[in-house]
Amino acid sequence: MDRLISVFVITVVLSVVHCQNDTTPTTTAPSNTTITTTPPPKVVPWNETDICRKCKCKNAKVNCFDKSLDKFFAKEEWANLKEFKPTILDLSENQFTKVTPLAELPVKVLNLSRCAIETIENSSFKDLQKMEVLDLSHNKLTRDKLSPHAFEGHYAPEEYRPLAAMRTLNLAYNNLHSLDQNVFEHLPELTELNLSGNPLTTIDYVTLIAVSSLPMLKVLKMRSCGLTEIPEKFLHTPRFLEHLDISDNKLTSVPQELEETKNLLYLNLNQNPIVKLDMASEDYPGFPRLRKLQELHMCNMKALTSIGESALAGLENLKKLHLSFNRKLRYIDPKALARPDDVGETYDWPLIKELYLQSNNLSEVDSRLVSRWDLLDKVDVSNNPFLCDCSTQWMVDVLVPLVESKAVNGSELMVCKEPIEMKDLTMKHLHNIHRTMRCVDKYGNRPERDGAMLLGTLIGVLLAVPIMFTLLLLWRRGLCAWMGLRGPQDVSRAFYKRAPAEDNYI
């Protein structure tokens, strides 16, 4: 009986083993089949990557400046820098013409300037979600090649993620004649835009829309763009604009569109062919009301000749005024900065802190130009052809010591051009000797010459009297015949005629 039970158990065990062998899949491959497996990606230490071998990787910065790179690094190569965690990528001064997508990195500043870039692939920067500054200046970008998709961020049907960290975009000195109207649609938080040096010439409608689509814009630079005017509504949308540079363009008058910039603090109009500022002129009007403007630059303006009354009156909060190196600027009205009330009987002046009037063609600086000269922190009126007379006496007495208190020998270049007797004398010297200067009369005569003129006249009279007396005496004595002059006797005989001898002569 026990034997039968043992046989039964063995039979059951063998059956179970056999069933398991039947259900287990075979792993034996045919002899002619080769099994291939993909090896895991090789992890390259960041300091051994091709990028860090060609460039310098240190202190969270990848410095590839001027490394003669003719090809942009691939996305896989950038991915090897994740452990390095770079925040600054400097790829400027290289030779690649195309930008391709970068890997996800904590980059804040990306410098791609001066690389002859012509093309930027779509979504090249979408994984740089922390990027704040992008410099694409001095390249060869055109409107056709600068697509709005170049700046797009991550996108999914349920979520749209633009480059929300972007604050500064530099597109200066490219070949942009215009802008795509949607070029900045993925940069909603952009606060600084530099378009300087692009041949825009005219701000067309699509460019106007592109710039107007940046509601958070605070800094706009459009230097050397060949602009002849600023169109209406161009500055209407960027209500937070604080800094505007439109220098070195072809503006012949102050753009009245500036009135839209309610929060403007800084304005640069240098090197524009503006002839004059005259509130009574339609062609050359003064400034509109810019209540918050604190700093104005109008320098190196070759055509500027005069600034009339109240031409700067709209700048009621002005602190720094730069009006220098304008070789034709010969007149600034004493009330150029004065803001009249409604009646016109009283005036208010802005409290200027810094005044720069050097190297113009001014014969004087009127004491009424600034309300409180003693509140100035910096002042420079040097290198002007000053007329040193009573009208500029206040400059000798008041302005010279003020300038000297701000900078030692700061008044050395305040030099007299006229009158001739005082030419090349410094106002500092006149101050030191306590010189009191006389006035030029309304006919332009120089009182300083009166003494010499009177002395010359007196000497002339004293010499003329004896000479004339001597000639008269010689003439009366007939001693001037050799000069062809007759004496009084000869003159009498010339008019005397003897009567005829005949008695019948009637």
pLDDT in tens, 38-63: 555 566 788 889 999 999 999 999 99
Q: How many other CB atoms are found less than 10 A from the CB of residue 228?
A: 12
> Three-state DSSP class for 244?
strand
Exposure string of 77-102, with b = 16+ CB inside 10 Å and e = fewer, is bbbbbeebebbebbbbbbebeebebb
* DSSP, residue by residue, 133-175: EEE--SS---TTT--GGGG---EETTEE---TT--EEE--SS-
User: What is the predicted pLDDT for the residue at 303?
Assistant: 97
pLDDT of the residue at 20: 47
Structure token digits, residue 492: 């009498």
Place of tokens 């606060």: 191
Please give the model's pTM, rounded to 2 decimal places: 0.79
C-alpha 222: how far from its chain's center?
9
Compare 380 and 9 and report the one with higher pLDDT: 380
Residue 486's pLDDT band (boundaries 50, 70, 90)?
Answer: low
**pLDDT > 70 fraction of the chain, expressed in percent and rounded:** 81
- Banded pLDDT at 36 (limits 50, 70, 90): low
> Which pLDDT score, from 0 to 100, does residue 203 have?
94
pLDDT recorded at residue 38: 53
Least confident of 124-138, 158-172, 353-367: 158-172
Distance of CA 412 to the CA centre of its chain: 28
Pair type for strands 168-170 and 133-135: parallel
pLDDT over 60 (residue 10):
no
Once rounded to an integer, what is the mean pLDDT over residues 89-105?
Answer: 96
Give exposure, 264-273, as e/b (b: 16+ Cβ within 10 Å). bbbbbbbbbe
Report pLDDT for 230: 94
- Indicate if the pLDDT at residue 11 is higher than 80: no
Q: What is the mean pLDDT of the chain?
A: 86
Looking at residue 116, its pLDDT comes to 95
Q: What is the per-residue pLDDT across 446-480, written as a single tens digit (0 to 9) for each?
A: 555 555 666 777 787 777 777 777 777 766 666 55
Phi first, then psi, for residue 46 (nearest 5°) are -60, -35
Place of tokens 């009158």: 419
- Count CA atoms within 13 Å of residue 160 on its CB side: 6
CA–CA distances in Å: residue 168 to residues 135, 137, 189, 285: 8, 12, 9, 34
Supply 344's token pair. Answer: 């016109």
Model confidence over 334-369: pLDDT tens digits?
999 999 877 767 899 999 999 999 999 999 999 999
